[in-house]
Structure 1
Amino acid sequence: MEVILSVLLFMDALEIRDAPRRSRTPVLRVLFLALPLSLIAVFFAAMYLLPDVRLSLCLVLACILVPSDLAPTASLLKDRRIPARVRSLLSVESGYNDGIVAPVFLFGLAMLGQGEHADHPLKALQDLVPALAVALVVGAVVGGLLGLGIKSAHAQGWAELPALRLVTLAAPLLAYTLAVHFQANGFVAAFIAGLVFCTAVGDLVHDLLEFTEGVATFAIMPIWFVLGQLAAFVFQSPPNWPVIALVAVALTVGRAVPVLLATTPSRLTWPERATVAWLGPRGIASVVLALLALQDGTDTQIGIILESVVMVVFCSVMLHGLTAPLIGRAFARRQPAGATAVRPEDIRTGPVG
Structure 2
Amino acid sequence: MLELLLVAVAVLGYALVSRRLAMSAFTSAMFFTSVGLLVGTGGVGWFDLAIEGEAVTVLVEATLVLVLFSDAVRIDLRELRRELTLPVRLLGIGLPLTVIAGTLVGAWTFPDLGWAGAALLAAVLAPTDAALGQAVVGDPRLPPRVRQTLNVESGLNDGIAVPAVTVLIAVVVAEEAGSPGDWVSLAAREVGFGLAAGLIAGIVGGRLLDSAVVTGRIQGTYRQLATLSVAVLAYSAASLIGGNGFIAAFIAGIAFGHVARDHCAGVQEFAEEEGELLAAVTFVVFGAVLVGPLLGNLDWQIALYAILSLTVVRMLPVLAAMLGSRTLLETQMFFGWFGPRGLASILFALLVLEEVGGEAGETIFAVATSTVLLSVFAHGLTASTWAGRLASRLDSAHEAQPELGWAPELPTRRGHIRRSDA
Do residues 142 (structure 1) and 201 (structure 2) align? yes
Do residues 65 (structure 1) and 125 (structure 2) align? yes
| Contact kept in structure 2, 1:77 and 1:348, CA below 8 Å | no
Instruction: Choose from 206, 227, 241 the match for 1:182.
Output: 241
| Contact kept in structure 2, 1:77 and 1:87, CA below 8 Å | yes
CA distance in 2 between counterparts of 1:247 and 1:350 reads: 24
Structure 1 pair 332–286 and aligned structure 2 pair: CA distance change class (3 A): same
Following superposition, the deviation at residue 232 of structure 1 comes to 1.6
Identity %: 31
| Contact kept in structure 1, 2:191 and 2:244, CA below 8 Å | yes
Structure 1 unaligned runs (5+)? Answer: none
Structure 2 unaligned runs (5+)? Answer: 1-59, 416-422
Structure 1 pair 70–163 and aligned structure 2 pair: CA distance change class (3 A): same
Structure 2 letter corresponding to 1:241: W
CA distance in 2 between counterparts of 1:63 and 1:350 reads: 21
Following superposition, the deviation at residue 288 of structure 1 comes to 0.4
Q: Deviations over 1:153-188 (max 9, x none)?
A: 112211122111111111111001111111112111
Following superposition, the deviation at residue 64 of structure 1 comes to 1.8
| Contact kept in structure 1, 2:124 and 2:345, CA below 8 Å | yes
Partner residue in 2 for 1:231: 291
CA distance in 1 between counterparts of 2:284 and 2:228 reads: 24
CA distance in 2 between counterparts of 1:327 and 1:12 reads: 25
Normalised by the size of structure 2, how large is the TM-score? 0.76
Structure 1 letter corresponding to 2:409: D
Partner residue in 1 for 2:96: 36
Structure 1 pair 264–163 and aligned structure 2 pair: CA distance change class (3 A): same
Alignment of 1:68-83 (within 5 A): 68-83=128-143
| Contact kept in structure 1, 2:268 and 2:411, CA below 8 Å | no
Task: Indicate the SS of the match to 1:184.
Answer: coil
CA distance in 2 between counterparts of 1:349 and 1:306 reads: 27
Instruction: Choose from 128, 134, 137 the match for 2:187.
Output: 128
Structure 1 pair 186–119 and aligned structure 2 pair: CA distance change class (3 A): farther
Partner residue in 1 for 2:111: 51
CA distance in 1 between counterparts of 2:373 and 2:248 reads: 31
CA distance in 2 between counterparts of 1:118 and 1:214 reads: 46
CA distance in 2 between counterparts of 1:114 and 1:127 reads: 9
Query: Between Structure 1 and Structure 2, how many residues are aligned?
Result: 348
Following superposition, the deviation at residue 264 of structure 1 comes to 1.9
Instruction: Choose from 88, 109, 112 the match for 2:172.
Output: 112
CA distance in 1 between counterparts of 2:72 and 2:344 reads: 14
Following superposition, the deviation at residue 302 of structure 1 comes to 4.4
| Contact kept in structure 2, 1:112 and 1:118, CA below 8 Å | no
Structure 1 pair 350–45 and aligned structure 2 pair: CA distance change class (3 A): closer
Following superposition, the deviation at residue 292 of structure 1 comes to 0.8
Structure 2 letter corresponding to 1:296: E
Partner residue in 1 for 2:330: 271
Instruction: Choose from 341, 346, 350 the match for 2:409.
Output: 346
Instruction: Choose from 323, 328, 340 the match for 1:281.
Output: 340
Following superposition, the deviation at residue 8 of structure 1 comes to 1.3
Partner residue in 1 for 2:14: none
CA distance in 1 between counterparts of 2:198 and 2:412 reads: 27
Structure 1 pair 350–259 and aligned structure 2 pair: CA distance change class (3 A): closer
When the two chains are superposed, the root-mean-square deviation of aligned CA atoms in Å is 2.6
Alignment of 1:299-338 (within 5 A): 299-334=358-393, 335-336=395-396
| Contact kept in structure 2, 1:80 and 1:342, CA below 8 Å | no
Relative to structure 2, which stretch is displaced further, 328-337 or 243-252? 328-337
Normalised by the size of structure 1, how large is the TM-score? 0.90
CA distance in 2 between counterparts of 1:197 and 1:91 reads: 20
Following superposition, the deviation at residue 330 of structure 1 comes to 1.3
| Contact kept in structure 1, 2:65 and 2:249, CA below 8 Å | yes
CA distance in 2 between counterparts of 1:16 and 1:264 reads: 25
Partner residue in 2 for 1:254: 313
